[in-house]
């Protein structure tokens, strides 16, 4: 156990010698103690120009340039791009809203003392319990990000919150049922996906206990909810998280759509013939396509030229590391966290999925 998790509120670890170096509450960007931004002009711009003003400017530009924009969208490549972008958003937005609503419920209605009772006091034991909690909470990776952020705010040790973030989109009943439907002749894919995803989530939680640092996580500043009526505080939290997480979801969906247009399909057939390259190809493809975990099993089933093990890698990596998820992690926890956590999760997910696939699905 590292000093970072010892100092995290709600971890249950005793403290006898004062706060260790680098420990303390998870920093909140823009919160108390944060230096004011330099430059009066920049501060004035941030105060005057918000998401509503940006949206209004975009709408005005769309009206002014509707003819050239319409001509560009009518091109076949742009139609494909638009189709993929819209499909990613349609899949993700309902679960993002669900996650934001649940996050607001946790922030406003669930007392901090609940988590001390619900999770084991020792952080190492809290990790598997939080991972298994994903079984009872349907949702996709878009909803798990704001929930994990809210759990950390409420004092849950980051290791447990991050284990939940990874496990919930992959082992919940909806995802496992969809996997069974997509692979009717290979029921072992359901077992392999659930087992591999649970193992990866626990490994990453324990790795955070061992190597993680609290100052890597920079939660965005949320308006102070203390002292507000519960209804007012609830909707304030919802509005903040929808605007903040939604913007990063749009960026991730745009990146995924661009990759779908730029990567030729014939490359996939060439890679499928090599056992090692096929695993790496589908792992990278899962990151790039950014398909919601409720739908990715059907895409994996359609990639029949690839082995079952490589398709299992696709199903394990996708809900844990994809473009929209990494983009949302940057927005929810900061760049320092995402650029360390995502690559490590990718490597662990590939190795565990290959190991489980070799034994379970062959």
Residues 238-266 have pLDDT tens digits of 776 676 556 656 765 676 677 667 767 67
Structure tokens, 86: 């819209």
- Determine contact, residues 250/318, Cβ cutoff 8 Å: no
Closest CA to 347 of 313, 323, 312, 319: 313
Under DSSP, the state recorded for 31 is S
Q: Distance (Å, rounded) from C-alpha 145 to C-alpha 337? A: 13
pLDDT value at 14 more than 70: no
Q: What is the mean pLDDT of the chain?
A: 75
Three-state secondary structure call for residue 217: coil
Q: Report if pTM > 0.85.
A: no
Residues 114-144 have pLDDT tens digits of 766 778 888 899 899 988 887 776 556 666 7
């Amino acid at each position: 156990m590292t000093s970072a998790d010892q100092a995290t509120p709600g971890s249950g670890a005793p403290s006898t010698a004062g706060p260790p170096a680098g420990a303390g509450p998870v920093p909140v960007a823009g919160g108390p103690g944060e230096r004011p931004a330099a430059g009066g002009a920049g501060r004035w711009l941030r105060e005057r120009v918000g998401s509503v003003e940006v949206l209004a400017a975009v709408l005005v530009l769309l009206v002014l340039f509707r003819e050239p924009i319409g001509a560009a969208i009518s091109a076949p490549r742009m139609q494909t791009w638009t189709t993929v972008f819209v499909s990613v958003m349609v899949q993700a937005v309902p679960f993002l809203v669900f996650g934001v609503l649940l996050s607001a419920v946790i922030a406003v209605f669930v007392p901090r003392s609940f988590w001390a009772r619900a999770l084991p006091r020792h952080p190492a034991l809290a990790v598997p319990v939080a991972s298994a909690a994903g079984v009872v909470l349907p949702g996709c990776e878009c909803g798990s990000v704001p929930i994990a952020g809210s759990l950390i705010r409420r004092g849950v040790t980051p290791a447990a919150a991050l284990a939940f973030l990874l496990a919930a989109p992959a082992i919940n009943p909806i995802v496992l049922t969809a996997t069974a439907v997509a692979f009717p002749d290979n029921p072992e894919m359901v077992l392999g996906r659930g087992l591999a995803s649970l193992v990866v989530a626990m490994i990453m939680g324990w790795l955070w206990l061992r190597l993680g640092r609290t100052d890597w996580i920079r939660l965005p500043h949320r308006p102070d909810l203390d002292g507000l009526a519960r209804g007012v505080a609830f909707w304030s939290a919802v509005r903040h998280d929808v605007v903040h997480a939604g913007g990063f979801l749009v960026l991730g969906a745009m990146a995924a759509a661009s990759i779908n247009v730029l990567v030729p399909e014939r490359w996939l057939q060439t890679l499928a013939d090599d056992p090692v390259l096929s695993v790496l190809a589908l792992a990278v493809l899962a990151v790039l396509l950014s398909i919601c975990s409720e739908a990715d099993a059907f895409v994996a089933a359609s990639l029949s030229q690839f082995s079952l093990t490589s398709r299992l890698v696709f199903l394990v990596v996708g809900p844990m590391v994809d473009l929209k998820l990494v983009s949302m992690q940057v927005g929810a926890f900061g760049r320092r966290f995402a650029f360390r956590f995502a690559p490590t999760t990718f490597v662990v997910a590939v190795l565990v999925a290959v190991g489980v696939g070799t034994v379970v699905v062959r």
